[in-house]
């Protein structure tokens, strides 16, 4: 591990200002992803800003009837919160499907939003990767692609977003709250928070340099039946081959977001209009324009079958 300097932040605005003032600075809270990347020298921050002491670890009701989840709320606490379990069961189930209990005890809401891809070429520093070294190329294209993206890809990157929580937040229309280095705050819809790779796959979110996540806001409860189904190679502690987050209303309408298929949680609102007609019609719109390889083409029928199972469960 390379040497770095360290400081404890005293306020969200101060943390953002410090990150902006020091090139190569990174925020650290649970560290469940960042520390691994530092050990492998995939990320080599010159300065770490510890945000654990900030008062961002509470879950509060909003005037609009939703919930405001602090950036430092641990995954275990969020999944166990009575309000989340009652009104946003989709989110609770997605969190419990991710990682192990030990990791969930440390991992934070903001850290989960910022999880970096688990593409094996990204983790292999002997291989070219545009995410790790912009402009170096993408070894995954033409390589082993079974776990990689099938929609929203580019000639520069075919990596997937690894987070279960992100898929649920996209289906729930969450909003990410931040503070900039100048103290200005803003709210970023989950739909706009993660970026598709394009020519700049190393730019993964809409965050500006130094911008700090302070909370995630959920709208008023949607009702309906909420289901999160994750398909993986083994029963636990594995990333999704594909996952489906769905909110299904009694009349058959609803919302669907899919994980394991793209660089960001994948939701196509036009596909939701097809839900009353069934999984086949909805999946056809959801996955329109997919670019597959021989190794990952199975993801297309797997999404359709999983969505079909989710809709059947919701009806029952």
- What is the percent of the chain with per-residue pLDDT over 90, rounded to a whole number? 95
For 8-12, 42-46, 123-127, 233-237, which range has the lowest pLDDT when averaged over its residues? 233-237
Of the candidates 172, 30, 51, the one whose C-alpha atom is nearest the C-alpha of residue 111 is 30
Which residue do the tokens 């005037």 mark?
63
Q: Is the dihedral of CA 276, 277, 283, 288 positive or negative?
A: negative
Q: What is the band of 66 on the pLDDT scale with cuts at 50, 70, 90?
A: very high
pLDDT confidence of residue 100: 87
pLDDT confidence of residue 107: 97
State phi, psi for 264 to the nearest 5 degrees.
-145, 165
239, 147 in Cβ contact below 8 A?
Answer: yes
142-151 burial string, b = 16+ CB within 10 Å, else e?
A: eeebebbbbb
pTM of the model: 0.96
- CA-based angle 213:216:220, to the nearest 5? 160
Say if residue 1's pLDDT is above 80: no
Mean pLDDT score, 124-148: 97
pLDDT for 254-300, tens place per residue?
999 999 999 999 999 999 999 999 999 999 999 999 999 999 999 99
pLDDT confidence of residue 2: 86
pLDDT confidence of residue 8: 97
Say if residue 218's pLDDT is above 70: yes
pLDDT for 16-37, tens place per residue?
999 999 988 999 999 999 999 9
> Cα(138)–Cα(200) distance, rounded to whole angstroms?
12
pLDDT for 171-202, tens place per residue?
999 999 999 999 999 999 999 999 999 999 99
Which residue do the tokens 């510890």 mark?
50
pLDDT confidence of residue 257: 98
Say if residue 99's pLDDT is above 90: no
Give me the chain's average pLDDT, please: 97
């Amino acid at each position: 591990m390379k040497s770095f300097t360290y400081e404890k932040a005293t306020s969200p605005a101060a943390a953002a200002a410090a990150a902006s003032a020091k090139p190569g600075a990174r925020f650290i809270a649970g560290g469940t992803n960042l520390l691994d990347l530092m050990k492998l020298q995939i990320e080599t921050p010159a300065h770490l800003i510890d945000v654990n002491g900030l008062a961002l670890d509470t879950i509060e009701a909003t005037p609009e009837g939703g919930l405001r989840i602090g950036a430092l709320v641990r995954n275990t606490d969020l999944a166990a919160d009575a309000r989340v379990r009652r009104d946003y069961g989709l989110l609770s189930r997605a969190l419990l499907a991710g990682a192990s209990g030990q990791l969930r005890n440390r991992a934070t809401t903001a850290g989960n939003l910022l999880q970096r891809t688990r593409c094996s070429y990204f983790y292999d520093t002997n291989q070219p990767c545009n995410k790790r070294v912009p402009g170096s190329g993408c070894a995954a294209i033409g390589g082993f692609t079974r776990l990689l993206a099938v929609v929203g890809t580019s000639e520069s990157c075919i990596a997937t977003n690894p987070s279960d929580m992100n898929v649920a937040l996209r289906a729930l229309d969450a909003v990410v709250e931040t503070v900039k280095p100048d103290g200005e705050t803003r709210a970023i819809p989950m739909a706009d928070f993660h970026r598709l790779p394009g020519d700049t796959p190393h730019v993964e979110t809409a965050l500006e340099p130094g911008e700090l996540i302070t909370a995630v806001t959920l709208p008023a409860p949607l009702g309906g039946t909420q289901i999160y189904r994750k398909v993986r190679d083994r029963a636990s502690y594995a990333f999704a081959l594909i996952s489906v987050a769905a909110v299904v209303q009694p009349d058959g309408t609803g919302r669907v977001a899919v994980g394991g298929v793209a660089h960001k949680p994948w939701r196509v609102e036009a596909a939701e209009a097809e839900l009353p007609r069934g999984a086949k019609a909805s999946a056809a719109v959801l996955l329109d324009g997919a670019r597959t390889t021989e190794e990952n083409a199975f993801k297309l029928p797997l999404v359709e079958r999983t969505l079909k199972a989710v809709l059947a469960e919701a009806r029952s």
